[in-house]
Amino acid sequence: MEIVQNLLIQSNSSSLIEWRNNVKQHVTGLNELFYENGRFTQTVSNTFNESSSLIVFAEQFLGEQLMGLLSLLDKEGTQTVRLYSPELIENTVVIRLALSNQNLGLKESLAQFCQQQVIDFALMPQFPDWSQPGLVLMDMDSTTIQIECIDEIARLYGVGEQVSAVTALAMQGKLDFNQSLRTRVGKLKDAPVSILQDVADNMPLMPGLLALIKNLKKSGWKVAIASGGFNYFADRLKQDHGFDAAVSNSLEIKDGMLTGEVTGEIVNADVKKRTLSELAEQFDIPMSQTVAIGDGANDLLMLSASGMGIAIHAKPIVQEKAEVSINHTDLQGALCILSAAHQDNSWA
């Protein structure tokens, strides 16, 4: 495997995709590729049993970054790493590494390394199976779209600073969500309903959303919204982009004006968690095949209840507790994780 080692060293400043192509060109009969005792090999000293899977991805992923990652794993006591062939998924470079073992501090070390290298990772004993039906349940504000709708309504109505300050505290988990929502909505009393349409017509989608939805549908997965925001916007997203369900709050409207009240049950953290299990049951999907994606404290319960919880550009409290955090790529990172986790060994 000296050729593989040299090709990676030579490709330090090149993409992993170029390294992969060079390996396939120069190494005949390559089936499995391992990293053990600081070297690449096709035969390992003991029978290889995967204890966990590491998926690493970035828009720019270089050979020197892979070398640094493999050195880190070796230093952290991972005895054997099986490397799958790097892939290009929606303009993002992805590599899956199967680990023979992992020490308790590995995830923290990986987080520090990946933050420095501006790459993302997911480390789990087992990922949802992309080849089987599944469900992705997403938060809406700052997750499927790039804004907080209530802050935009407030800004157009002239009470933006008052409302956004409360929103920030609620998303950090520093305020009771139900009370904070009622407080914020109360400041919108007598706002014309036309403001809602203005916001809905200009909702900026989170990058990667459409690619994620397209590929989820292609693979037979369901995708839904559970939002502490409002159904005026969630239903519009469902209609325009093919979500299978949308659960959110209802703003009371009378005579073309907002009353400053929310009607019905408030979609808080408990309701989001319940929605995950209800939709899984409705679509006949096991909980191990569910993925939840969110960014705020209101998402923590559904993240922890899902088969895989993903924090997307999230508040610190959410990153700290979520199983997976995406900090540098966008929503197509979720697609990378799901797709790469089911990847066959494609070196052959």
Q: Is 37 helix (H, G, I), strand (E, B) or coil?
A: coil
The length of the chain is 348
Query: In this predicted model, what pLDDT tens digit does every residue of 196-250 receive, in sequence order?
Result: 999 999 999 999 999 999 999 999 999 999 999 999 999 999 999 999 999 999 9
Reply yes or no on whether 270 is catalytic.
no
Query: In this predicted model, what pLDDT tens digit does every residue of 120-165 receive, in sequence order?
Result: 999 999 999 999 999 999 999 999 999 999 999 999 999 999 898 8
Amino acid at 345: N
* pLDDT of 271 above 70: yes
Can you point out the beta strands (E) in the chain? 33-36, 39-41, 52-58, 80-83, 87-89, 92-99, 120-124, 135-138, 222-230, 245-254, 257-263, 290-294, 308-312, 324-326
Q: Say which residues have a Cβ less than 8 Å from residue 257's Cβ, sequence separation at least 6.
A: 190, 191, 192, 193
Whole-number Å distance between alpha carbons of 309 and 331 = 13
Whole-number Å distance between alpha carbons of 294 and 310 = 7
* Poorest-pLDDT segment among 62-66, 216-220, 344-348: 344-348
Mean pLDDT over 305-331 rounds to 96
Q: Given this model, what pLDDT does residue 173 score?
A: 85
Give the pLDDT band of residue 14 (cuts 50, 70, 90).
Answer: confident
What are phi and psi for residue 218, nearest 5 degrees?
Answer: -60, -35
* pLDDT of 81 above 90: yes
Whole-number Å distance between alpha carbons of 75 and 84 = 21
Mean pLDDT over 71-87 rounds to 95
- Which of 141, 151, 244, 330 is the catalytic position? 141
Reply yes or no on whether 255 is catalytic.
no
* pLDDT of 75 above 70: yes
Q: Given this model, what pLDDT does residue 223 score?
A: 98
Whole-number Å distance between alpha carbons of 252 and 293 = 28
Give the pLDDT band of residue 41 (cuts 50, 70, 90).
Answer: very high
The percent of residues above 70 in pLDDT, for the chain, comes to 99
277 with 259: CB under 8 angstroms?
no
> pTM, whole model, 2 decimals?
0.95
- Token representation of residue 308: 């895989």
Amino acid at 69: L
Whole-number Å distance between alpha carbons of 202 and 204 = 6
- Token representation of residue 114: 């990946």
- Token representation of residue 177: 């969500």
Q: Given this model, what pLDDT does residue 342 score?
A: 82
* pLDDT of 313 above 90: yes
Give the pLDDT band of residue 345 (cuts 50, 70, 90).
Answer: low
* pLDDT of 46 above 90: no
Whole-number Å distance between alpha carbons of 138 and 235 = 13
Q: Given this model, what pLDDT does residue 219 score?
A: 95
- Which of 120, 139, 295, 299 is the catalytic position? 139
323 with 111: CB under 8 angstroms?
no
Give the pLDDT band of residue 2 (cuts 50, 70, 90).
Answer: confident
> Locate tokens 């300050």: which residue?
165
